[in-house]
Chain A
């Protein structure tokens, strides 16, 4: 139930052993090794937990009401936490239900079908990744193991090092994972890529050896610059959802008729759909959906010549997960996400 990501893995000519930046990234990876997940917990934090017998609509409302992207699901019949309910799951829900049900049935589904039942019957998602590195060479495609509804909950122990926690998230292609204390079987916090990045940014600001951040994106060669999944701004929202569903990317750039970038629609933007008119709102264009967000058509881009530290600062300050790489005319070149950055720092596959 956790959202899979499909970020492109880094280009093949920088395997772990011969990465030219290994020495420089060592400082960050050793920093992550020293600190534990407990250190990343806020002093006074909050976790919203959802009962598995809640209806899908109620679960969505719980996420939206509390302003969160994910909530652990507690099943009282199994007496344990079974999954992590995220907004990405709701993209899947809405896409499926829109495709197969009438508007009345859609509404009824959301009111009746419980999270438990839906989780049992999720479609297995085959994942195929394509892409190419910056210089155009084709890249090995790794097919992610298919997720099915009965994987045990992937969690992070509070005493695990941040390096191990990041590896857990990256291996399973998750953007977030619950930090759980096994003794008391409680969820303490939802650890996200965004929080990890903020931690690294803050540390890098006062560390002396920040050579790694002075490099430009061009030198470092991370990010996805190959065939990107994009949509036109006139595409209806339900189609965007279905594209997001099938292709396993977590966000799509939105291009206008001239191929210039006007925005990025991500899976977490589904929270801005009006709760009482979901079916109808899926008929609007993605441009309207972008404008309906509180921050409207906010566009976060960077250039390939930007230094890593400015890009990371943008990601952290704007609380976004990915930034689009554009050229001078605002034409899309590629996408860089926190996933790519973390892989780069940790030097994992």
Chain B
């Protein structure tokens, strides 16, 4: 039985109206006299009594979201706060409230109030009259029927309207019939029940959703929802920024250190400029750009199966067209457990790899290289080769034909057979 506010499960506390609230609802049926224990209060007092944490939320500058909440709470509410020093905010997380407009459109003469579960039915909030030129004509027939005005009420209204003719006798507190009354309150998201008090009588708005309470009284129900973001793109961007901040926080870095654009103090590219940044302005950041998480695991050295060594797993397009360079001697490889441990004594110092598309397929090239050889080694190599030739000549019975010289290779000095 949902009198409690269903609320949202993000951990922030919501005002929870207990079951007892409705039971404490003044035992009224429609058209019963107005009970006296409802006091009229100023807007501030009402809201503060009900939701002291709202006042706290006003003062904190925490992240409330991108949306501007329209608050009727004046900034001078801090004076109320100081008088209530004993009041502690119920939650440390700021509460997201949304503006809700209560509109009574069926006219009233004296006053219109609204009371509801958002202030625990403890007090009534006055609505402001919005005079209209049409008001002089009184309620239309539809409105009379819609608002279920009784004959008595109609008489009163007619009297008031008639009394307009006596303008000269009109005092400052001449009653007028005004059709529209409204007030906008800032209410946290959730489900609420409310009812209007129009000219001293409990009235519900027949146009909106109305539900019976346990005692059979009809009350209106409303659901306050946070506004949906303008577009999913904004939502995605917000999510992305959250993750970036989490990554930075994990590494102990500041956003300004890493995302440092020139001409930019706070690290957020706030303005455009025609000044071409110098290389110095990019060197301001102490840390290199963070590598995207897709590259945290290189798949270049992947497990191979016999005969399938030229197959790579299918890669996402983001991994393509990036050059990987590894200068470590020995990258740990996953080997089959049954394979004997192999030693790799030779030094391939540079490994470069790049995946590129070729028409509709992907080709990954892994290039093994080492730095330039020194001339001493070259002499030694030549000596070895010479010895090899000699041995071959003495060994073989047939003369070895001369090695053909390459026309293109001008460096081929040692290919000549002795």
Contacts and interface: CB of A to CB of B under 8 A. Distances in A.
A294 B339 contact: yes
A274 interface: yes
B348 A46 contact: no
A53 B382 CA distance: 14
Interface of A: 38, 41-51, 53-55, 57-58, 60-62, 64-68, 71, 74, 77-78, 96, 99-101, 105, 108-114, 117-118, 120-124, 126, 146, 148-150, 158, 181, 186-190, 194, 274-276, 294, 319
A83 to B, nearest CB: 12
Given A60-B346, A187-B365, A117 B381 contact: yes
A42 B363 CA distance: 9
Q: Which 3 A-B pairs have the closest CB atoms?
A: A319-B307, A51-B369, A67-B309
Given A53-B372, A120-B412, A68 B310 contact: yes
A111 to B, nearest CB: 7
Contacts of B400: 123-124
B359 A38 contact: yes
Nearest to B336: A294
A96 to B, nearest CB: 7
- Most B Cβ at <10 Å: residue of A42, A108, A186, A319: A42
A45 B380 contact: no
A112 B370 contact: no
Interface string B321-338: 000000000000100101
A277 to B, nearest CB: 9
8 contacts: A41-B363, A51-B368, A61-B344, A65-B333, A65-B344, A108-B384, A150-B406, A275-B346
Contacts of A55: 346, 370
Contacts, number: 178
Contact of B361 (A43, A60, A150): A43
A55 B380 CA distance: 13
Contact of B344 (A108, A117, A275): A275
Given A53-B372, A120-B412, A189 B363 contact: yes
A294 B377 CA distance: 37
Contacts of A38: 359, 361
Contacts of A45: 310-312, 361-364
Contacts of B377: 112
Nearest to B391: A100
B401 interface: yes
Contacts of A46: 309-312, 363-366
A214 B342 CA distance: 44
A248 to B, nearest CB: 15
B388 A96 contact: yes
B310 A189 contact: yes
B322 to A, nearest CB: 15
Contact of A74 (B342, B348, B367): B367
Contacts of A53: 369-370, 372-373
Interface in B94-125: none
Interface in B366-408: 366-370, 372-373, 377, 380-382, 384-385, 387-389, 391-392, 395, 398, 400-401, 403-406, 408
Interface in B269-328: 304, 306-307, 309-315
Contacts of A108: 380, 384
A289 to B, nearest CB: 14
A268 to B, nearest CB: 11
- Most B Cβ at <10 Å: residue of A71, A120, A126, A274: A120
Contacts of A96: 388, 392
B411 interface: yes
B403 A120 contact: yes
B79 interface: no
Contacts of B368: 48-51, 54, 58, 62, 71
A114 B411 CA distance: 14
Nearest to B405: A150
A46 B389 CA distance: 37
- Most B Cβ at <10 Å: residue of A112, A181, A187, A294: A112
B352 to A, nearest CB: 9
B334 to A, nearest CB: 12
Nearest to A69: B309
B365 A190 contact: no
A61 B368 CA distance: 10
Contact of B343 (A121, A187, A274): A274
Given A67-B306, A275-B346, A150 B404 contact: yes
Contacts of A319: 306-307
Nearest to A65: B344
A302 to B, nearest CB: 19
Contact of A99 (B313, B395, B409): B395
B414 A121 contact: yes
Given A54-B370, A100-B387, A186 B339 contact: no
B415 interface: yes
A99 B395 CA distance: 10
A55 B348 CA distance: 9
Nearest to B342: A275
A74 B350 CA distance: 14
Contact of A188 (B339, B363, B392): B363
Contacts of B405: 150
- Most A Cβ at <10 Å: residue of B313, B314, B345, B389: B345
A41 B311 CA distance: 10
A44 B356 CA distance: 10
B347 interface: yes
B343 A58 contact: no
B358 interface: yes
B367 A109 contact: no
Contacts of B373: 53, 114
Given A117-B381, A121-B388, A186-B363, A42 B344 contact: no
Contacts of B414: 117, 120-121
A124 B306 contact: no
B356 to A, nearest CB: 8
Contacts of B336: 294
Given A44-B314, A108-B384, A294-B336, 16 more contacts: A38-B361, A47-B366, A57-B346, A61-B344, A61-B346, A62-B368, A67-B309, A78-B408, A78-B409, A105-B384, A110-B346, A117-B382, A146-B401, A150-B404, A150-B406, A275-B344
